[in-house]
Amino acid sequence: MVYDAGRYDTIVIGAGHAGVEAGLAAARMGVKTLMLSLNLDMIAFMPCNPSIGGPAKGIVVREIDALGGEMAKTIDKSYIQMRMLNTGKGPAVQALRAQADKPIYIKEMKQTLENQENLTLRQGMVDELIVEDGVCKGVITETGAAYRAETVIITTGTFMRGKVLMGDLEYESGPNNQRPSLKLSENLEALGIELIRFKTGTPPRVNSHTIDYSKTEIQPGDDKPQGFSYETTEFILDQIPCWLTYTNEFTHQVINDNLGLSAMYSGAKRGTGPRYCPSIEDKIVRFHDKPRHQVFLEPEGRDTEEVYVQGLSTSLPESVQHEIVRSVPGLENAEIMRPGYAIEYDSIVPTQLWPTLELKNIPGLFSAGQINGTSGYEEAAAQGIMAGINAAAKVLGKDPVILDRSQAYIGVLIDDLVTKGTKEPYRLLTSRAEYRLLLRHDNADLRLTDIGYELGLISDERYKKFEMKKQQVEEEKKRLRKISIKPTPEVQSMLEAANATPLKEPMKAYDLLKRPELHYDSIDSVIESNESLSTDVKEQVEIQIKYEGYIKKANEQVERMKKMEDKKIPEDIDYDAISGLATEARQKLKLVQPLSVGQASRISGVNPADISILLVYIEHGRIAKLAN
């Protein structure tokens, strides 16, 4: 029996990585928020690998932090290991990656939610949406609770019509044997939302006591204390290593012999899996001449013996999984605690979304996370915070927030999803960002803190610190422009030590720092030191000076594109009335409904001539309006 369970401003369905960011952002912006989760013990649960960050993704975590999100702070409180990746490469591609303590991460995140003002956390399964006159007005749970709200955010991850697959075993389930969400999918379809079937998978977990680590290579964390959040000041120093081992010919033989038993290779039609997250059987089939594949052993936490076997994601029967695991050096006697499995689920075709993550055909309804066809905790969290912000903004009558591709990886992610759609679970890669030199790990705060502060998601105290940093960077750059370094013996020996060409005549400190082999500290050692500066500021000064020319070039590209991004397409545009458009372009434009000419130009199948025609048409409309 349906009963009136109350009224909220925003309801978030799900409390995974997207859900928690959505709920927190909305509540912190001051709107009354309800979060419904199937199981309150599984908040921000990591159903797959126990790690957060990595190339591109780690930068996203920092962006979420700069906007006032929670992922960075929570992982900083719960990591067992932290590493900076790509330190030998340029600043644009460096990124942090943490190994997470899964249970602690859940505990910390749950506590944050419980203590959040304006946020109600409740256990419950949503079966359908309340939609009146085409507008989303709330949700109804399986217990008959009808909650009304102005905006609803779906963040159901891989739960919708989830189906676990392992050999010939298959059953309806969410990840890790949780209850699947079955009715919501049907409800969405009935509301005219197009769904697509995707698939992903996870490897077995083994008991640490049964691993012979002496046959593996140790993978320790960095010694240097570091964290994701700009607010973190205390770092976890007691770190736990990961371990590396390899598959071998015998492993591959076992897999080949049993390929027909794999849920994915049995011939049945299945959802589309991601190429960048293949099962071990995929790897053996597609790269059959590779003699071995890497296997990383990653602890799932400090107070558990479960170890995640990265590299052996599989949907083969449990019996075969034992054989595969035991063929790997170090795992000869390993005991599987949980077998690996593949999971199939429904997602929303993301071209149905506006860049605000609101559904085009159902105002008031937003969606974020894996349900939108992505994969990865970070991608989910990034969409979560943006959906939360925009759902709250709608309630508050504020302008929506859309990050562009030159502002954040989050902008790249969402623009890709809503403009191009995706044919497989979407993962962020650094190569997806055309302005990656601007989207660095080190400047996420400079790019986004203002926006977070404007929304009320960044505290005054933090903002003050941020402004000071910004000012210090500018002043230090100015100072270095003024300081002239002369070819003294001290300077020459510093240069020699750094393998740099000696000076022939005096040079500004600023220009000397442009040399790739020199760093802020090398310059600092031969000039008067500016004691007040933090490492953060020095790093920023060095990067901005050293890569100035390249950054400038990238900014010019952004400027050129900006003219197109700023050219808005009228909401009421009728693409059928534009006779010159090519048929394919017309169809795509009608489907995507781009907001700007810039977005239109990124749709595949829309070519430059179509863009020219579109521009002329828009201008024609503008002139016609003026004439009236």
Partner 1 sequence: MFETDTITAISTPIGEGAISIVRLSGRDAIEITSRIYKGKDLHEVESHTIHYGKIIDPETNEVAEEVMVTVMRGPKTFTREEVVEINCHGGLVSVNRVLEIVLNQGARLAEPGEFTKRAFLNGRIDLSQAEAVMDLIRAKTDKAMNVALKQMDGRLSNLIKKYRQSLLETVAHVEVNIDYPEYDDVEEMSNEMMRVKTKEVHSEIEELLSVAKQGKILREGIATAIIGRPNVGKSSLLNALVQENKAIVTDIPGTTRDIIEEYVNVRGIPLRLIDTAGIRETEDIVERIGVERSRQALKEADLILLVLNYNEELTEEDLRLFEVVKGLEFIVIINKTDLDQKLDIEKVKELVEDRRIVSTSLLKEEGIDVLESAIADSFFAGDIDSGDLTYVSNARHIQLLNQAKKALEDAMDSLEMGMPLDIVQIDVTRTWEFLGEIIGDTASDSLIDQLFSQFCLGK
Among 296, 345, 409, 510, binds partner 1 (CB under 8 A): 296
Q: In angstroms, give the least distance from the CB of 431 to partner 1.
A: 5
Q: What is the Cα–Cα distance from 161 to 413, expressed in whole angstroms?
A: 25
Among 204, 278, 330, 425, binds partner 1 (CB under 8 A): 278
- For 526-553, the three-class secondary structure string (H helix, E strand, C coil) is CCCCCCCCCHHHHHHHHHHHHCHHHHHH
What is the residue type of 394? Answer: K
Among 177, 319, 493, 612, binds partner 1 (CB under 8 A): 612
Q: Does the footprint of partner 1 cover residue 556 (CB under 8 A)?
A: no
Neighbours of 67 (CB within 10 A): 27
DSSP 323: H
Among 135, 192, 276, 498, binds partner 1 (CB under 8 A): 276
Q: What is the Cα–Cα distance from 91 to 546, expressed in whole angstroms?
A: 10
Interface with partner 1 in residues 498-537 (CB under 8 A): 516-517
Give how many residues touch partner 1 by CB under 8 A. 59
Binding mask 31-70 for partner 1 (x = CB under 8 A): -----------------xx-----xx--------------
Q: Where are the beta strands (DSSP E) in 285-332?
A: 294-299, 306-310
Q: Does the footprint of partner 1 cover residue 558 (CB under 8 A)?
A: no
When the beta carbons of 242 and 385 are compared against partner 1, the nearer one is 242
Binding mask 536-555 for partner 1 (x = CB under 8 A): -----------x--x---x-
* Residue 364 neighbours by CB under 8 Å, 6+ apart: 135, 136, 137, 150, 151, 152, 358, 394
Q: What is the Cα–Cα distance from 427 to 571, expressed in whole angstroms?
A: 30
Q: What is the Cα–Cα distance from 403 to 413, expressed in whole angstroms?
A: 10
Residue-wise over 2-31: b if at least 16 C-beta within 10 A, else e? eeebeebbbbbbbbbbbbbbbbbbbbbbeb
Q: What is the Cα–Cα distance from 569 to 615, expressed in whole angstroms?
A: 9
Q: According to DSSP H, which parts of 100-248 are helical?
A: 102-114, 183-190
Among 23, 311, 350, 369, binds partner 1 (CB under 8 A): 311
Among 287, 488, 511, 535, binds partner 1 (CB under 8 A): 287
Stretch that binds partner 1, among 17-25, 70-78, 332-340, 605-613 (CB under 8 A): 605-613
CB 555 within 8 A of CB 407: no
Q: In angstroms, give the least distance from the CB of 267 to partner 1.
A: 23
When the beta carbons of 23 and 203 are compared against partner 1, the nearer one is 203
Q: What is the Cα–Cα distance from 385 to 390, expressed in whole angstroms?
A: 9
Q: Does the footprint of partner 1 cover residue 431 (CB under 8 A)?
A: yes
When the beta carbons of 85 and 182 are compared against partner 1, the nearer one is 85
Q: In angstroms, give the least distance from the CB of 86 to partner 1.
A: 5
Interface with partner 1 in residues 564-593 (CB under 8 A): 564, 578-580, 582
Summarize as ranges the residues that interact with partner 1 (CB under 8 A): 48-49, 55-56, 85-86, 88-90, 92-93, 203, 274-278, 283, 286-287, 290, 293-294, 296, 310-311, 313, 429-432, 436-437, 516-517, 547, 550, 554, 560-561, 563-564, 578-580, 582, 604, 608-609, 612-613, 615-617, 619-620, 623-624, 627
